[in-house]
Amino acid sequence: MHRRLVRRLAVAGCALSLLVTPGLTTAGASAATPDDAAAAPAAERHGGKGGGHHHGDRDEARRVGYFTQWGARDRDFLVKDLVTSGTAKRLTHLNYAFGNVSPDGKCFEANLGDEGDAYTDYQRPMTAAESVDGRADKPRQRLAGNFNQLRKLKRMYPDLKVMMSLGGWAWSTHFSDAVRTPESRREFVSSCLDLFIEGNLPRIDGKGGPGSAAGLFDGIDLDWEWPNYPGDVDTVYRPEDKENFTALVAEFRRQLDKAERGRHDRDRGRGHGHGHGHECDRDLLLTAFLPASSAAMDAGYETRKLFPHLDYATVQGYDLHGAWEKNTNQQSAIHSPDDSLEQVVDDWLERGAPRDKIVLGIPFYGRGWQGVEGGGDGFNQPAAGAAPGTWEAGFEDYKVLKEFAASGEYEVYRDRENGHAWLFDGNTFWTYDDPQVIAQKAEYIDDRDLGGAMVWSLDGDDDGELYRVLDRGLD
């Protein structure tokens, strides 16, 4: 195992990353073999270290996780589950997915079906059994729902940073329109900060109002999918998105820094003495989610201009392949003759991204095909289409795939050298990350001196199992 002799991974770029020994090297694909053995204990693989996360310790990698709005609404995955599973104490940053952008280019909260769910965000009353602190919401409190639970979570874990993530696959529709001019960018950013940083939520059915969510969010995560590159079917994109995205990030940084100076003026009674050069000096952070595709990188991002404004960026480390393709494949291998995490990281580094600001994405779900032909282990074979899934075709949470693996109906296959695993029952194929693969990815992040790991999404885990392995591997 390649290990560094001196290791100073930084949360927030507060320490320089030093690499003494070489990182992993790429080799040819190893022969895949059935593997039903359980993953080796992470403590054994990483020198007997414990799994608890030490908030406030700057000498560690970022641990980022996405909490989905619809997870609480549709999947019965509540903020409280982050506490009971032990995941909350291991996180450094929690991204709330998602905030939407209106057709007139503003952040907004409303109850508009598929376009907005203010009820889940801050209106839904939580019972004592559903609440982080075991206390039921009161009828007249201004903040309820997920937002109030996140506020309680922050009280329990004061060093945890909670970010509002804007956009996502379905809600990136109007980004391009919102950022076309300096005036529209200023108004867009101002609307987002007013809503989520100042906490001035609209008053709806007795909830919200001026300052009702003040202090809840510690920054903004930009999840525009994608500038000047095709995304969801109705997402607008145009060539000028590339320059406009850089300008948008700069405008967010400017207004966030201004808001932070205002906070210090009000709260501490002193002018501009608080530094704004690094994430470790900042109270209000700015991050972005960036693509795995090199074509999307070149189309939409001025990398060297972009990163000085960002505290870090989470990089898509999944969906490299899926059932939109005819043949089965891996969706998130560390190494591969075609698409791989190694290639994604190298592509961003070559374009000028600082390695300590690259937070590599890891999937807590799998991609699947059915009607697979050719027999054998099922890998890279023609398929009829997407496998049935609980929430959508071709997609399944790790906690469900774990049951498939344990059922005896599927064989577990593993390419240890290249870092990926899959399930195959002779007809249906699932590529997914289990504890062994997660441990390998944590080691890869460590060996390459990257800025940490991000997970999409926390509701796919099985009572915190995968996040425990990830956390131990990053120690």
Of the candidates 366, 412, 398, 384, the residue with the CA atom closest to the CA atom of residue 325: 384
Alpha-carbon distance 165 to 147, whole Å?
Answer: 13
Alpha-carbon distance 219 to 291, whole Å?
Answer: 21
Measure Cα distances from 118 to 100, 112, 144 in Å: 11, 8, 10
Strand partners for 195: none
- If you write DSSP's letter for every residue of 340-382 in order, what string do you get? -HHHHHHHHHHTT--GGGEEEEEESEEEEEES--S-TT-TT-B
Alpha-carbon distance 155 to 200, whole Å?
Answer: 20
Burial of residue 267 (number of CB atoms within 10 Å: 0-12, 13-18, 19+): exposed
Question: Residue 276: CB partners within 8 Å, gap ≥ 6?
Answer: 257, 260, 282
The answer to whether the bond into 294 is cis (omega within 30° of 0) is no
End-to-end CA distance of the chain: give it in Å, rounded. Answer: 15
Placement of tokens 């194929």 in the chain? 429
- If you write DSSP's letter for every residue of 71-121 in order, what string do you get? HHHHS---HHHHHHTS-GGG-SEEEEEEEEE-TTS-EE--B-GGG-BHIII
Report residue 93 as tokens. 């940053």
Alpha-carbon distance 457 to 287, whole Å?
Answer: 17
Placement of tokens 């907004």 in the chain? 108
Side chain identity at residue 129, one-letter code: A
Of the candidates 150, 189, 194, the residue with the CA atom closest to the CA atom of residue 202: 194
What values do phi and psi take at 327, rounded to 5?
A: -105, 145
Instruction: State which H helix or E strand residue 442 sits in.
Output: helix 435-447
Side chain identity at residue 77, one-letter code: F
In terms of DSSP bridges, do strands 358-363 and 312-315 run parallel, antiparallel, or are they unpaired? parallel
Question: Active-site positions?
Answer: 225
